[in-house]
Structure 1
Amino acid sequence: MDTHNNSEKPQDTGHEWDGIRELTNPPPRWWLISFHIGWIWCIIYFLLYPSIPLINGSNEGLLGWTQIKEFKEAVAENDAVKAPYVEKLKAMSASDIMADAELRNFAESAAKAVYGDNCAACHGAGGEGAEGLFPVLADDNWLYGGDIDTIIETITDGRMGDMPAHADMLEAEQIETLTDFVIALPKGEASKAGWAMFEEAGCMGCHGDNAKGGALNDDTYSGAVNLTDQVWRFGGNREEVLRTIRYGVNQDDVAQTRSAIMPAFGEKLTAEQIKILAIKIHAMGGGQ
């Protein structure tokens, strides 16, 4: 193969394969400029920032910049902005904070991280709860009361529901009658026999003589659910209601009992964290 270049043709290296010649044309000037800018910038970057691996880490760089340092500076700036609001929150009650629109908005925003770290795992990111496991926080149905002071009490001390297991207290037929009554009640279809069984089983002692829950049917809350609405703590189908009546809630030595325990956060969270968390939950559930 003739490897000599023809002056009238593009210069090549003499390499040809399958009709394709390797030319010696220089790359475009813009490409060369970009190439040189690239390696020069790499050297400058390696000198300014911690990028060269060493035995015990990397070079510190002439600027002394690190991600941790930048993060700490950002946190410090954020804390400086929040400081005036935090000081006001410490000196005010939750009710007073909610009466101040600016402070209330700050408290609800500041509580997002606290809620995410301590509440979202059970109650969901939006307070939607989990059927049969954890109560919904995003509605206006409250087992122990939805006023701000009661919510603070709930978060601080926790809650533990209690309902006796009736499997050994009532006959199977009586439990069936009571189950039918509980299912029919919110539909307005409860029978006289059901009401009689409700009274005979002693359910009025907690749920009230009108089955609306509360303590002895007054205006306070005891954790006894309202049986007349369509809100179901553990599910409203017949099988779930039967289980709850038979095995109760939080009963020792009862294998199939329901578990309804809210842990206490009084020692884990600060008073300010509990305060803003209560304000956020109050807002999620419409308050009271």
Structure 2
Amino acid sequence: MAENNPFPGENNTGHVWDGNLRELKNPPPRWWMLAFWASIAFWIGYAILYPMWPVGQEPTQGVLGWSQMKEYQEGLDQMVAKRARFEDQLAAMTPAQIIEDPGLKQYTLAAAKVLFGDNCRACHGTGGAGNPGYPVLADDDWIYGGTTVKIQESIVGGRQPAMTAHEKTLTPAEADTLAKWVVQMNETVGKGGSDEGWALYKTKGCTACHGEKANGHVVDLPGGDFVTVGAANLTDGIWRFEPGGYDSARHTILYGVNQAGVTQTRNAVMPVWGPDPARQGQAKLSAEEIKKLVVYVHELGGGY
């Protein structure tokens, strides 16, 4: 092929295509060669300084002894050191005391936002907005009370309310009357439902759980707190189980909440996040983490 080279003396390889396309033998530019040899030197230096060659199950450690886990741990130690002064204060304070300290409250809310996202958002939604079938935490409606003490009780020990299934104790007409009365109570907040509904509500013993005023308060205490068994407030226009309305109310009346052996019963369980006998006394969250969540939830919903 070289003998038939149409470009003699050009310093090409003799490989010619399509009449004039050929491969030259010019050396690479000097800068390119310098970069090439520098990259080799860099590679050798890196292999000496950092983990590189596989030896069995582990790589060589490198003379610097660097590793991603060491770097991570150093960063973690720095973060823990910065947080230490806040965490030390939190350990000695109650949630109510933390809320009274603006700086410490701000730190706690920032720290608890991640905790809430990891542990609570799946049920209660982003920012406590609530997912279908789970309570909204961003309003001022509290089934068990909105004090820090009550919120902490809910988180530590969980909640498992119960409502009796009345399918066998109410006639269809009575269930219909009560369901319509519940709708009236929600649609005319503060004005009350029909006299017939109130009479049936009292004679059927609903006051034992929902209270004389149907607001879920068995006993009202000073300071806005109250005693409750977890029964819903029927006077506030808020539906515990979506979508609400007549059919929803009638379903709950007939089949109850958390009733064993009732296939259509409502399921409403808040898990235990503190020490749990079912886990040999182990807690899902530490006391400090629970304290942070108490402050976060309290501030989400305007607790009192």
Pairwise same-fold verdict (TM > 0.5)? yes
Match for residue 202 of structure 1 among 200, 205, 225: 205
2:121 matched residue in structure 1 = 120
**C-alpha spacing 1:165/1:217, structure 2 compared with 1 (3 Å):** farther
Distance in 2 between residues matched to 1:130 and 1:144, nearest whole Å: 19
Question: Counterpart of 1:243 in 2: which secondary structure?
Answer: helix
Aligned pairs, number: 285
Distance in 2 between residues matched to 1:174 and 1:58, nearest whole Å: 76
Paired letter, 2:232: V
1:270 matched residue in structure 2 = 286
Match for residue 220 of structure 1 among 210, 223, 226: 226
1:60 offset after TM fit, Å? Answer: 0.3
RMSD over aligned Cα, in angstroms? 2.1
Distance in 2 between residues matched to 1:216 and 1:104, nearest whole Å: 31
1:227 offset after TM fit, Å? Answer: 1.4
Question: Counterpart of 2:82 in 1: which secondary structure?
Answer: helix
Question: Counterpart of 1:199 in 2: which secondary structure?
Answer: helix
2:266 matched residue in structure 1 = 258
1:184 offset after TM fit, Å? Answer: 2.4
Percent identity between matched residues is 44
Paired letter, 1:170: L
Distance in 2 between residues matched to 1:138 and 1:221, nearest whole Å: 22
Distance in 2 between residues matched to 1:4 and 1:159, nearest whole Å: 92
Once the two structures are superposed, residues 224-283 of structure 1 have per-residue CA deviations (whole angstroms, 9 ceiling, x without a partner) of 212122311111033322211111111222222112222222211332222111011111
Unpaired runs of at least 5, structure 1: none
2:107 matched residue in structure 1 = 106
2:76 matched residue in structure 1 = 75
Question: Counterpart of 1:170 in 2: which secondary structure?
Answer: coil
Question: Counterpart of 1:15 in 2: which secondary structure?
Answer: strand
1:139 offset after TM fit, Å? Answer: 1.9
1:34 offset after TM fit, Å? Answer: 2.5
1:68 offset after TM fit, Å? Answer: 0.8
Contact 1:208 1:217 in 2 (8 A): no
- Most deviating of 253-262 and 185-194: 185-194
Contact 1:108 1:279 in 2 (8 A): yes
Please tell me whether residue 243 in structure 1 is matched to residue 251 in structure 2. yes
1:136 matched residue in structure 2 = 136
Contact 1:50 1:66 in 2 (8 A): yes
Paired letter, 1:271: A
**C-alpha spacing 1:96/1:63, structure 2 compared with 1 (3 Å):** same
Residue pairs, 1:40-189, within 5 angstroms: 40-132=41-133, 134-188=134-188
1:24 matched residue in structure 2 = 25
1:5 offset after TM fit, Å? Answer: 4.1
1:4 offset after TM fit, Å? Answer: 6.4
Once the two structures are superposed, residues 155-195 of structure 1 have per-residue CA deviations (whole angstroms, 9 ceiling, x without a partner) of 12222212111101100121112111212222128333333
Distance in 2 between residues matched to 1:37 and 1:146, nearest whole Å: 67
Paired letter, 1:101: P
Distance in 2 between residues matched to 1:71 and 1:232, nearest whole Å: 47
Paired letter, 1:62: V
1:234 matched residue in structure 2 = 241
Contact 2:186 2:238 in 1 (8 A): no
Paired letter, 1:231: I
Paired letter, 1:135: P
Contact 1:213 1:227 in 2 (8 A): yes
2:195 matched residue in structure 1 = 192
Compute the TM-score of the two structures, normalised by the length of structure 2.
0.86
Please tell me whether residue 3 in structure 1 is matched to residue 5 in structure 2. yes
Unpaired runs of at least 5, structure 2: 276-282
Contact 1:123 1:135 in 2 (8 A): yes
Contact 1:47 1:62 in 2 (8 A): yes
Paired letter, 2:38: I
Match for residue 298 of structure 2 among 279, 282, 288: 282
1:105 offset after TM fit, Å? Answer: 1.4
